[in-house]
Amino acid sequence: MTVIVTGGAGFIGSNFVFHMMKEHPDYRIICLDKLTYAGNLSTLKSVMDKPNFRFIKADICDRKAVEKLFEEEKPDIVVNFAAESHVDRSIENPEIFLQTNIIGTEVLMDACRKYGIQRYHQVSTDEVYGDLPLDRPDLFFTEDTPIHTSSPYSSSKAGADLLVLAYHRTYGLPVTISRCSNNYGPYHFPEKLIPLMIANALADKPLPVYGEGINVRDWLYVEDHCRAIDLIIHKGRVGEVYNVGG
């Protein structure tokens, strides 16, 4: 089994690479990553020399590079972690989020259609559902919760999700989608909340409070998330959306 993991040098993607290498040592794992500010090749140092691992530096929006890789590797499964994911950055510059998160997804799925695939899995976010009311702690998002985005980032991810489901309905592409809550764990990028708070505390710097400090987040340990995706790509039902929470 050959698995392409896009965004595999990022926080969640690298943890997924490690998980797959450990749980499926007979699989061939191909990591495709553009190595933006959020990607760190040194994270993958421990697997770079493994015979069943290959790293390719490329942009998922680069159709020629993506198709070349598919032609060479003939993947069975594609798991797409590659995304611009920082909400504040999306407010400053929405265009790059639309390009990577929507057009990049389309390029990958076109390659899946052209070269054949057993499963295309889109890693999404619970932010496509918007916010829950603070005075209703009994409420939870479900897979049937209507999409209600609140930032260019979440809108770009919701757009990609709809495109993935459209490719399933229109072309019969075997797809699944997972929407997760906030991840934490090894290799977390330092701009994110938990590592930022820890780094500021260690440096005796102020701890930033968002809004009035009353917002609540659900936290998911990254290795639990990776196990969930592994389960979905092997046993999940094609065309389904799966929520993964902490």
**Is the pLDDT at 122 greater than 70, yes or no?**
yes
126: nearest Cα among 72, 80, 164, 182 = 182
The DSSP 8-state label assigned to residue 142 in this structure reads -
User: Between 11-23 and 222-235, two packed helices, what is the crossing angle to 10 degrees?
Assistant: 60
- Examine the residue annotation and report whether 88 is marked as an active-site residue of this protein: no
pLDDT band at 39 (very low <50, low <70, confident <90, very high): confident
Could you tell me the CATH superfamily of domain 2-189+220-244? Answer: NAD(P)-binding Rossmann-like Domain (3.40.50.720)
In the structure encoding, which two tokens stand for residue 205, read together?
């710097």
Contact at 8 Å (CB) between 34 and 59?
yes
pLDDT value of residue 140: 75
pLDDT in tens, 50-82: 999 999 999 999 999 999 999 999 999 999 999
**Is the pLDDT at 224 greater than 90, yes or no?**
yes
**Is the pLDDT at 85 greater than 60, yes or no?**
yes
pLDDT value of residue 219: 84
pLDDT in tens, 174-202: 999 999 998 999 887 777 777 778 888 99
- Examine the residue annotation and report whether 27 is marked as an active-site residue of this protein: no
In the structure encoding, which two tokens stand for residue 39, read together?
């990607």
User: Between 152-171 and 104-115, two packed helices, what is the crossing angle to 10 degrees?
Assistant: 20
| The one catalytic residue among 127, 129, 187, 242 | 127
pLDDT value of residue 152: 87
Percent of the chain predicted with pLDDT > 90: 66
| The one catalytic residue among 33, 84, 126, 161 | 126
Residue type at 102?
Answer: I
**Is the pLDDT at 87 greater than 70, yes or no?**
no
105-134: average pLDDT: 92
What is the chain's length? 246
| Residue 9, SS3 per DSSP | coil
Percent of the chain predicted with pLDDT > 70: 91
Residue boundaries of the structural domains of the chain: 2-189+220-244
| The one catalytic residue among 59, 120, 129, 153 | 153
pLDDT value of residue 141: 80
Pairing label, strands 119-125, 28-33: unpaired
Contact at 8 Å (CB) between 235 and 22?
no
- Examine the residue annotation and report whether 126 is marked as an active-site residue of this protein: yes
CA gap 60, 79 in Å, rounded: 12
